[in-house]
């Protein structure tokens, strides 16, 4: 394919984003046997009535420098078992089956929702707002997406 053809036929993607509010949990560095290590976390997203909150858990790979910076800032609070509530954006969500390896569910099949944590919009630790780093701006002054 010529360069001109490539320029007129850019790659196309379908974006699937989930935005909401939830509890940040299980911040960790994952070191796979093959491939690069990465930062991961889970988010227990709140849904439904404030009188009867239900939760949907997302297991996320943290994507982008801005999101990594914020998650590393919040990691000590999560590790200390403080209540860390975040406004989040998760992309590319998909279900994944797994087999429990420990506990009373050992050998049973479970399901998790995976995704990429793209952005933390705000955070509170034990009800107190946390000042987050400002997003980096490009030379034109536009905010680069996290």
CA 88-41-18 angle, 5° bins: 30
Pairwise CA distance, residues 56 & 21, whole Å? 11
Q: Which domains does the chain have, with CATH numbers?
A: 14-129 (2.40.50.140)
pLDDT tens digit sequence for 4-60: 545 566 778 888 899 999 999 999 999 989 989 999 999 999 999 999 999 999 999
pLDDT tens digit sequence for 43-57: 999 999 999 999 999
pLDDT for position 146: 44
pLDDT tens digit sequence for 117-142: 999 999 999 999 999 987 765 555 55
**pLDDT value at 86 more than 70:** yes
pLDDT tens digit sequence for 66-83: 999 999 999 999 999 999
pLDDT for position 2: 47
- What percentage of the chain carries pLDDT values higher than 90? 77
Region 81-89 average pLDDT = 97
- DSSP letters of 10-63? -------EEEEEEEEEEEEEE--SSS--EEEEEEEEEES-TTS-EEEEEEEEE-
Pairwise CA distance, residues 87 & 20, whole Å? 6
pLDDT for position 4: 52
pLDDT for position 27: 97
Over its C-alpha atoms, the chain yields an Rg (Å, rounded) of: 18
- What's the pTM? 0.81
What are residue 116's DSSP bridge partners? Answer: 61, 91
The torsion defined by the Cα of 33, 34, 36 and 40, in degrees rounded to 10, comes to: -50
Region 90-118 average pLDDT = 94
Pairwise CA distance, residues 44 & 98, whole Å? 19
């Amino acid at each position: 394919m010529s360069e001109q053809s490539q320029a007129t036929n850019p790659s196309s993607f379908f974006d699937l984003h989930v935005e909401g509010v939830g509890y940040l949990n299980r911040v960790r560095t994952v070191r796979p046997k093959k491939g690069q290590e990465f930062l991961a976390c889970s988010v227990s997203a709140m849904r439904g009535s404030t009188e009867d909150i239900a939760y949907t858990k997302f297991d996320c790979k943290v994507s982008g420098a801005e999101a990594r910076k914020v998650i590393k800032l919040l990691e000590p609070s999560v590790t200390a078992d403080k209540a860390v509530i975040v406004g989040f954006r998760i992309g590319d969500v998909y279900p994944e089956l797994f087999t429990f390896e420990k506990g009373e569910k050992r050998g049973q099949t479970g399901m998790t929702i995976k995704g990429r944590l793209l952005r933390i919009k705000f955070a509170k630790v034990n009800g107190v707002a946390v000042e987050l780093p400002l997003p980096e701006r490009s030379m034109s002054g536009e905010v680069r997406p996290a």
